[in-house]
Structure 1
Amino acid sequence: MAKLYFRYAAMNAGKSTSLLQAAFNYEERGMRIVLLTAELDNRDGHGKIASRLGLSRDAITFNASQSMAERIAAAQQESWISKLACVLIDEAQFLTMPQVEELHRWAHENRTPVMCYGLRSDFQGKAFEGSAALLVLADDVEEMKTICDCGKKASMNARFDDEGNRIFEGSQVLIGGNMRYRALCPDCFYGVN
């Protein structure tokens, strides 16, 4: 049965690695996939899904104003994909509510799984729009685990400046990866130790 999936975690849990492994598994069996990632995430280059383990793949980008069904259709035309086996989306927190609604409907109407990977919350502990929508609409939701520096399960993200000082205010989106963000357990996030 085709579903909309959401795999979420704090920073450094291996979301992109897991997505790239799923892509490999489909393609190894001769199945066609579409890879999408957020246009604004260009840490590893425009239109790249990259893992800290060194794996990397080209992907089609999306932004908040685009139709996801149109992006998927364009990908099918560009690569002559006749029957898709799966759509894989990295940085899914940057989707909008209408895009998630569209993906949910698309997965069911086209009987093709859509697997979304992303953060649940930002550095202030607030939900991203795409993540909140996925938590509501995804047919299958799974938390991927990672650990805090203290050894407990990390479920929060914290932002730091260039000198290593924690930042509590600012724009929700600031691309920076491992240099700017760290996954923390709730105790460390709130300074309860």
Structure 2
Amino acid sequence: MAQLYFYYSAMNAGKSTTLLQSAFNYQERGMQPLLYTAAIDDRYGQGKISSRIGLETEAHLYHNETNLFEHVSAIQEHEKVDCLLLDESQFLTKQQVLELTDVVDKLRIPVLCYGLRTDFRGELFEGSQYLLAWADKLVELKTVCHCGRKANRVIRQDANGNAIADGDQVVIGGNERYVSVCRLHYKEALGLL
């Protein structure tokens, strides 16, 4: 039975690596995964899912206007689709998460979404909010703070490495801009203790 999965974490927990491993597992068994990533995240080039350990593959792009149910349905008419794997799922809209539930329920295709749970202010992304609410299975991927505790927050840094408390929710960046920390070190960095 197909289900909607949400694999979430702070940054640098291996979400993209896990997604790429899942795609490989499907392919190794002669199955066809369909991969998507957010067009807004162009750190490694358009239409690529890349991990920090050097793995990468091509993927379809989705924008805020992309109807994922229609897109997957059209592809399924011409080729077999055994699973949908979606990276950077925090950037989904509420409507797109609803469309993914239709991919599961109407097309009977398992959907595995990978993304951040919260932004640098500790607030939910829209896509993450509705995946947390509507997914059949929730899986937390863990990473660690520099102190060894579980990192569940992300700090956005300026060019000098100082924590930033305000700004746009979405600013694309990697290790040069963001660092995953535990709640204690998040509060310390922002002067909240």
CA contact (8 A) 2:72 2:103 kept: no
In structure 2, C-alpha distance between the alignment counterparts of 1:59 and 1:177, rounded to whole Å:
20
Output the aligned Cα RMSD: 1.3
Q: 2:99 aligns with which of 90, 95, 102?
A: 102
Unpaired runs of 5+ in structure 2?
none
Match of 1:70 in 2: 70
CA contact (8 A) 2:34 2:83 kept: yes
Q: State the Cα deviation string for residues 164-187 of structure 1 (Å, max 9, x = none).
A: 111111000000111101111011
Match of 2:120 in 1: 123
Q: Deviation of residue 70 (structure 1)?
A: 2.3
Does residue 1:157 correspond to 2:154, yes or no?
yes
Q: TM-score, normalised by structure 2?
A: 0.95
**How many corresponding residue pairs?**
190
In structure 1, C-alpha distance between the alignment counterparts of 2:52 and 2:176, rounded to whole Å:
12
CA contact (8 A) 2:69 2:102 kept: no
Match of 2:21 in 1: 21
SS at match of 1:118: strand
Residue type of the partner of 1:54?
G
SS at match of 1:54: coil
Match of 1:51 in 2: 51
Consecutive aligned runs of 4 or more in structure 1 exceeding 2 Å deviation = 73-77
Greater mean alpha carbon deviation, residues 20-29 or residues 98-107:
98-107
Inter-CA distance 180–74: structure 2 relative to 1 (3 Å threshold)? farther
Q: TM-score, normalised by structure 1?
A: 0.95
Q: Deviation of residue 73 (structure 1)?
A: 3.3
Q: Identity of counterpart residues, as a percentage? A: 51
